[in-house]
Chains A and B, each alone.
Chain A
Amino acid sequence: MNIRSQVSAVFHLDKCIGCHTCSIACKNIWTGRKGTEYMWWNNVETKPGVGYPCLWEDQKKYRGGWKERNGKPELIMHNRASALANIFFNPFLPRLDDYYEPWTYRYGDLFGAAEGDDQPVARPVSAITGKEMEIEAGPNWDDDLSGSPIYAANDPNFASLNEEERKQFFALESMVFFYLPRICNHCINPGCLAACPAGAIYKRGEDGIVLVSQEKCRAWRMCITGCPYKKTYYNWSAGKSEKCIFCYPRQETGQAPACFHSCVGRIRYLGVLLYDADRIESAAGSPAGSIARKQLELILDPFDGEVIKEAKAQGIPDAVIEYAQKSPVYKFVKAWNIALPLHPEFRTLPMLFYVPSLLPVMAHAKGNLHEVGHDFFGSPDNARIPIRYFAALLSEGNEEAIRAIYRKLVAVRVYRRARTVGNIPEARVNKALDEAGTNPDEIEAIYRLTSLPSVEDRFVIPPFMREAAIEEVTDPLNKRESEGAGFTRKPKRGW
């Protein structure tokens, strides 16, 4: 057992209202610089939709992530030989148009235009070239199903759905969509890291945050292809790749990442998990269909005496173990089993988990009347979104995994409705609990953490112990005695 700790997250999709506040918070802090105009380290997509960049989930096009060979993961994009052959030309890069060309408006024209018969208009101009442009796409262009015939209809997750099920998404009365907020997953087995020829990408040992060293990056841009989630971006001005840094400077000072902190729907939960690094390869290389299960098996029980003993022996600080026990992510993912990683079939073992959304109940036409939820929430298979769609998104097509989560989410609603409204018979409540395999205590806990959590409940940020991490590579006293406290880097002229 090789125990590591990782700061990870859960996004509760039922709570996301698609307001993009998280994206704006991130943009304001991190990607307002030249060369980063088109980047959205955090973005919110409408599903069904093609997302950002366009069709990022289609690895036949983008070649991101891993495939399995002899029980081991292997990058899809290249092996050693083809990496060398394509070193000066990565043939699988998205174009700017596949992200979108960022733009602004010439607002000055509204005030400075010469007097005339017509109202002045602020023309859109490219934020990169400054030239006038026609806006044809944006990072959330298919928001709320806009442009459906082009964008939503081409959602790669429709592959497993039949024609009728696809139509159901767009038919009046049954029309449905939901939001999928995305940040870097800070994967256990990152494709970007493995693809980097310069060794510039690393996963921090103490908290699992995946970072691109701006000093080592040599702009080969292999990480952009290697990441199946397209969450590394190339800064055309700096000539370096950049990605979500999980707001580590905020976390190190005890604050939640900006996108978490600003989330209006309070859908985001953050906490530390312990996992076994010895089993990464076998999990990432496990046969299709079992990857998500194997990944969840990697995550260790922080209450298990054996795990605690081993973690302490391997130098995991006591405080981190304590925070792992309080982690809301552990509860959602392991204790309650209602959160799953996004597209586990990419085999990067992403450490960001999603609770699938239940979505509004369907209305059934009965003569002239529409009856809403005649069997409260009905069976999971009557859900607005076909089970198979979420299965394609979160469980490699394993519909039973989604059904199990739905049953539990329905049980929470049925139980709580019986408690607060009281119009559901006891037998129906007990049936829901039995089907979900849960009990009132667990239901209450899920309810409290879903609906009534405080900031401290949602963000259980472990102490980052940077001082301890730094001491592993440098002795601060050493520096004090020889160089003083003021400099960390040698000046060019010498000391």
Chain B
Amino acid sequence: MIMRTVHLLFLIFSIAIQEAGILPADGAVGPGEKIFAQKCSACHTIGGGPRVGPDLKGVTERRERSWLVSFISDPDAMFSRSDPIAVTLSREFGNARMPNLGLSPEQVNAVVDYLAAQTRAVVSPQGPEKTSEGGNSHTGERLFRGLLIPKNRGPACMSCHNVSGAAALGGGTLGPDLTRTYIKFGEAGTSALLASLPFPVMRPIYQDHPLTSEEQADLKSFFREMAKRRPVDKTPEVAAITGVGFIVFLILIAVIWRNRLRAVREALVKKEGPEGSGRP
């Protein structure tokens, strides 16, 4: 649960400072759609089901426009004055809070217009997610574990992340466990994330070492495989090994310095007993 929350917060913060869209801008689309693609689609779908945040299909009917505008413009303000809807939603989505996207009033209006238009549309704009079969999950695993160096020499995923069964003691724990990434973000979300790696910690690392499209496909395929497993917490094993190692370390010290000088006077007094210590 905690991992999940951290995971969500990572994503949200990353989007908050994201300046480039993760989807290519289409010349034919309106400003609202473009903004949605850039700023919202990593967490929200319209008719595609809830992701990190709720499905936004019909949101203009569920909420008043003024509430939507003020929430999108400054979500922090809404949370700080404990807006009941904002708080309930946040609780519903694992305590995730929508970040401030830094949109101008015109952009906010454009997005809300786009959401309203999509709600009115008879046909859902996003059909059921297609599963692309490209990519080799075996190569993906090798990339993940660092057995294969990415073409642009980016670091291996396992330096910071774990997936179920990646290694005896699991992978890194700086980033979240990625076993269920595919389930959480879906096909499109995973593709988008792999393409841009927008998280604030990852961005500077991969900025000059981006993944190639084949590598992205391989990794996505790997994550799709992994999604069949359950995440395994290796913390107890690591803690146990650390504990045992510490005890072994202490024993080693005790053996190496076994001839060290111990209490001299105390030992004398102890040996002879309290009588005759010269004390009245």
Q: Does B272 contact A (CB under 8 A)?
A: yes
Partner of A154, one of B260, B268, B278, B279: B268
- B264 and A54 contacting across the interface, CB-CB below 8 Å: yes
Chain B proximity of A208: nearest CB distance (Å): 30
- A151–B268 CB distance below 8 A: yes
Whole-angstrom distance from the CB of B11 to the nearest CB of chain A? 46
Give the number of residues in B that approach A within 8 Å (Cβ atoms). 16
CA distance A53 to B261 in the complex (A): 13
- A61 with B268: CB separation less than 8 A: no
One of A9-17, A87-95, A269-277 contacting the partner: A87-95
B20 to chain A, nearest CB (A): 52
Bound Cα distance A91, B255 (Å): 13
Stretch at the interface among A124-132, A140-148, A255-263, A405-413: A140-148
- Kindly report which residue of chain A lies nearest to residue B270, judged by CB atoms: A150
Bound Cα distance A30, B202 (Å): 63
- What separation, in Å, do the CA atoms of A417 and B269 have in the docked complex? 46
Q: Does A137 contact B (CB under 8 A)?
A: yes
Interface assignment of A297: CB less than 8 Å from any CB of chain B: no
Q: In the bound complex, how far is the Cα of B269 from the Cα of A93, in angstroms?
A: 19
Is B264 a contact partner of A147 (Cβ separation < 8 A)? no
Interface residues of B in 246-280 (CB under 8 A from A): 257, 259-261, 263-266, 268-269, 272, 275-279
Tell me which of B261, B263, B268 contacts A62 (CB under 8 A): B261
Q: Which has the most chain B C-beta neighbours within 10 Å: A54, A89, A142?
A: A54
Cβ of B263 and Cβ of A141 under 8 Å apart? no
The answer to whether A147 and B263 touch across the interface, beta carbons within 8 angstroms, is: no
Q: Give Cα distance in the complex from A146 to B279, angstroms.
A: 9
A92–B275 Cα gap in the complex (Å)? Answer: 29
The answer to whether A151 and B259 touch (CB under 8 A), given A55-B264, A98-B264, A98-B265, is: no
Q: In the complex, what distance in Å separates the CA atom of A61 from the CA atom of B267? A: 12
Q: Give the distance in Å from the alpha carbon of A98 to the alpha carbon of B268 in the complex.
A: 10
Number of A-B contacts (CB under 8 A): 57
The smallest beta-carbon distance between A412 and chain B, in angstroms, is 37
* Contact assessment for A141 and B264 in the assembled complex, using a CB-CB cutoff below 8 Å: no
Cα distance A53–B265 when bound, in Å? 9
How distant is the Cα of A443 from the Cα of B146 in the complex, in angstroms? 93
Q: Which of A108-165 contact B (CB under 8 A)?
A: 136-137, 141-142, 146-151, 153-154
Residues of chain A within 8 A (CB-CB) of B276 are 147-150
Which of B259, B261, B279 gathers the greatest number of chain A CB atoms within 10 Å? B261
Contact partners of B278 in chain A: CB under 8 A: 141-142, 146-148, 150-151
What does DSSP make chain A's interface, helix, strand, loop or mixed?
loop
* B249 to A: closest C-beta gap in Å: 14
Tell me the bound Cα distance from A63 to B69 in angstroms: 81
Question: Once the chains bind, are B272 and A150 in contact (CB under 8 Å)?
Answer: yes
Q: Give the distance to chain B from A253, nearest Cβ to Cβ, in Å.
A: 40
Q: Are B275 and A149 in contact (CB under 8 A)?
A: yes
Contact B277 A150 (CB under 8 A): yes
Contact assessment for A137 and B259 in the assembled complex, using a CB-CB cutoff below 8 Å: no
A455 to B36, CA, bound (A): 104
B residues in contact with A92, CB < 8 Å: 260-261
Q: In whole Å, how far is B266's beta carbon from the nearest beta carbon of chain A?
A: 6
Chain B, residue nearest A98 (CB): B264
Instruction: Tell whether, in the assembled complex, residue A53 and residue B268 are in contact, meaning their CB atoms are under 8 Å apart.
Output: no
Q: What is the distance, in angstroms, from B141's C-beta to the closest C-beta of chain A?
A: 44
Residues of B within 8 A of A89 (CB): 257
Measured between beta carbons, the chain A residues less than 8 angstroms from B275 are 149
User: Which of A91, A137, A153 is B265 in contact with, Cβ under 8 Å?
Assistant: A137
Tell me, rounded to whole Å, the shortest Cβ–Cβ distance linking B253 to chain A. Answer: 9
**Cα–Cα distance between A55 and B269 once the two chains are bound (Å):** 13
Knowing A54-B265, A98-B264, A147-B277 touch, does A91 contact B272 (C-beta < 8 A)?
no
Minimum CB–CB distance from A44 to chain B (whole Å) comes to 17
Contacts of B272 in A (CB 8 A): 149-150, 153
Q: Which of A55, A91, A93, A146 gathers the greatest number of chain B CB atoms within 10 Å?
A: A91
| Contact B269–A150 (Cβ < 8 Å) | yes
Cα A136 to Cα B278 in complex, Å, equals 9
Quick one: CB contact mask for B116-139 with A, threshold 8 Å, 1 for yes? Answer: 000000000000000000000000
Kindly list chain B residues whose C-beta atoms are within 8 Å of the C-beta of A50: 265, 268
A97 in contact (CB, < 8 A): yes
Closest B residue to A62 by beta carbon equals B261
Are B259 and A94 touching (Cβ within 8 A)? no
Chain A 69-101 residues near chain B, CB threshold 8 A: 89, 91-95, 97-98
B264, B266, B269: the one contacting A61 at CB < 8 Å is: B264
Q: How far is the CB of B264 from chain A (nearest CB, A)?
A: 5
Contacts of A136 in B (CB 8 A): 269, 277, 279
Q: Which residues of B sit under 8 angstroms from A149, Cβ to Cβ?
A: 272, 275-276
Choose from B257, B263, B268 the contact partner of A95 (Cβ within 8 Å). Answer: B263
Contact assessment for B264 and A94 in the assembled complex, using a CB-CB cutoff below 8 Å:
yes
A204-223 to B contact mask, C-beta < 8 Å, 1/0:
00000000000000000000
- The CA-CA distance from A439 to B275 in the complex, in Å, is 52
Interface residues of B (CB under 8 A from A): 257, 259-261, 263-266, 268-269, 272, 275-279
Other than A137-B265, A153-B272, give 17 A-B pairs with Cβ distance below 8 A. Answer: A50-B268, A54-B265, A55-B268, A89-B257, A91-B257, A91-B259, A91-B261, A94-B261, A95-B263, A97-B265, A136-B279, A148-B278, A149-B272, A149-B275, A150-B277, A150-B278, A154-B268
Sort A-B residue pairs by CB-CB distance and give the 8 closest, nearest first. Answer: A147-B278, A149-B276, A91-B260, A54-B265, A150-B272, A146-B278, A98-B264, A92-B261
